[in-house]
A and B are shown apart, each in its own frame.
Chain A
């Protein structure tokens, strides 16, 4: 009798938890399905390469794609070297017992937890108001060139935001390099920097790539940090200088969703834009996963 009750409990718990897992999968599928279903028809070559027209109800989103691409490229230029060097410190140079190591470690972890809107405030308060104004004072005699929202400041803000992502990825790759490589290198008389930069880091290159890709994927989706630091809704020309403003996919979606005068008319364009952003994110993440998987496979054969 009691055994039957226990069997019942076993069955119930299995079903309940399975339902939860299924529920999550279902929600995911519904979201992707909805977006794909409504957005797919609008994805044409023209959509991806033309500028928006007729009050955002027709045309394409090329400027937003361009803006997003430019943004993340500039960001990568800054975050990659900093992130890699920081990861090299954590993995190869740090004294694990030292006070500094622990504090730096904490700092990176805390950086990862900062809300994105606070990054927006930081971008405004530090990059635009402080650094920008200083640049204006020294280079332009006070004229307003850089002390205002600009693509460079947005890129730097996102660089700080994605720094932890890069550090974690690269550190993981560095740690995975077999110790025997380092030992062999030292035994041949290499200095530490030679070991790190000629042997370890090259071997960890896929990890560096993964980190950069994940950073780009994350940055492409973040809107809150760039709300006041450079993104704009409609610009007549593409950003060509570092202190230009720019259109951006995520920001575009936000404005179109909340401030469009005729929501129904812009809906098709909106769905398509969301699909493009989502597709881009997934593509990048998938790429990172593939690289990581191949890295692990190669490791196993070593």
Chain B
């Protein structure tokens, strides 16, 4: 700190010398520039994924094969191997690009995952927030964090090798790898985030409210059911929204455990194909710049935008919960 020593001993109060000022300015600008980078990356992702997808809608080669109507509306192929109006079969003599099987597949798997994970995670959060003694809380929270740390490829492996066999033994499904299998594994991946957000929401309810309820003679369960849960509802809902967003974007688990059959059906015991798994499964084989390639990027774009909306909605809800509980009084 040479500069410092000099100005202190000489007792001057004049402005810092020019080189130091320039240095400060430079450092500040560098730091701001760096922050711009975070901004830039999210924009870059949008731009570069869109860049590969958007030509789909004006390139003549792509237009011939794919178009808005082909993607979403029922098609009549009139061929024996495509009896249903919605088919995803890009690799065939007549490429079929209906997104419906993929949307349905994604919906089916995430529904199972949420039905499995949300009640489990919420109940566990209620237990640790309202009933559990301290030592139990200190065991469950780290355990859930451990679960959060599981790489999704490991969960996919578990579902593929272990869970599928168990389910097969128990229920004797037609297909070993199906929506239920992948849905449960996906649920496992999503439990930590739902649990964490719900637990935070329940904890944010002021203790004073619980005390008022207890003082009126309510039991712990009544207090949890009638006072705490209703108060924390926005946060709980936000947790589910965030979990749903995570589930939709998950790739490895579904890629490994769902059977990857793009069928248009509502059955949960058949194999399914999701948007994310489609990208992962087909991108390796695709010709760069082909319509198929562009549609896959389009899928990525759709995923990106949709999860962005879901996450923003979830965070907005959490901010609202905070205001609802602490403000206004």
Contacts and interface: CB of A to CB of B under 8 A. Distances in A.
Do A's and B's CB atoms come within 8 Å in the complex?
A: yes
Main secondary structure of the interface of A (DSSP, over half): helix
Contacts of A191: 16, 20, 24
A124 B32 CA distance: 28
Contacts of B248: 115
Interface string B142-182: 01111101111111111011100000000000000000000
Contacts of B245: 113
A298 interface: no
A167 interface: yes
Contacts of B45: 114, 118-119, 122, 126, 160
Interface stretch (B69-77, B80-88, B221-229): B221-229
A1 interface: no
Interface residues of B, number: 96
B222 A282 contact: no
Contacts of B304: 114-115, 118
A24 B158 contact: no
A100 B225 CA distance: 42
Interface stretch (B35-43, B94-102, B208-216, B262-270): B35-43
A6 B225 CA distance: 12
B279 to A, nearest CB: 5
Interface in A242-280: 250, 253-254, 257-258, 267, 270, 274, 277-278
Nearest to B311: A113
A82 B34 CA distance: 7
Interface in A10-40: 10-14, 16-21, 23-25, 27-28, 31, 34-35
Interface stretch (B125-133, B231-239, B321-329): B125-133
B120 A86 contact: no
B140 interface: yes
A25 B43 CA distance: 40
Interface stretch (A54-62, A101-109, A172-180, A204-212): A101-109
Nearest to A130: B48
B149 A18 contact: no
Contact of B24 (A89, A189, A192, A258): A192
Interface stretch (B56-64, B107-115, B250-258): B250-258
A254 B256 contact: yes
Contacts of B139: 25
B151 A222 contact: yes
Interface residues of A, number: 86
Main secondary structure of the interface of B (DSSP, over half): helix
B250 A115 contact: yes
B8 interface: yes
B256 A109 contact: no
A150 interface: no
Among the interface residues B51, B130, B300, B311, which one has the most CB atoms of the partner chain A within 10 A? B300
Nearest to A225: B251
Contact of B120 (A20, A124, A130, A167): A20
A277 B124 contact: no
A113 B308 contact: yes
Given A13-B225, A86-B35, A21 B132 contact: yes
Contacts of B160: 257-258
Contact of B30 (A85, A189, A254): A85
Contact of B222 (A10, A25, A90): A10
A264 B276 CA distance: 28
A151 B246 CA distance: 27
Given A18-B132, A34-B162, A114-B249, A86 B34 contact: yes
B24 A28 contact: no
A9 B303 contact: no
A148 B23 CA distance: 40
Nearest to B219: A10
Nearest to B249: A115
A94 B39 CA distance: 14
A93 B221 contact: no
A93 B30 CA distance: 11
A254 B32 CA distance: 40
A120 interface: yes
A220 B149 CA distance: 11
A43 interface: no
A221 B154 contact: yes
A240 interface: no
Contact of A193 (B4, B23, B49): B23
Given A111-B41, A111-B42, A124-B283, A250 B124 contact: no
A297 interface: no
A12 B221 CA distance: 9
A223 B38 CA distance: 23
Interface of B: 1, 4, 7-8, 16, 20, 23-24, 27-28, 30-32, 34-39, 41-45, 48-49, 51-52, 119-124, 126-128, 130-132, 136, 139-140, 143-147, 149-158, 160-162, 188, 191, 195, 219-222, 224-225, 245-246, 248-252, 255-256, 276, 279-280, 283-284, 288, 296-297, 300, 303-304, 307-308, 310-312, 315
Q: What 8 A-B pairs are tightest by C-beta distance, nearest first?
A: A221-B151, A115-B249, A20-B123, A17-B127, A113-B311, A10-B221, A13-B221, A21-B124
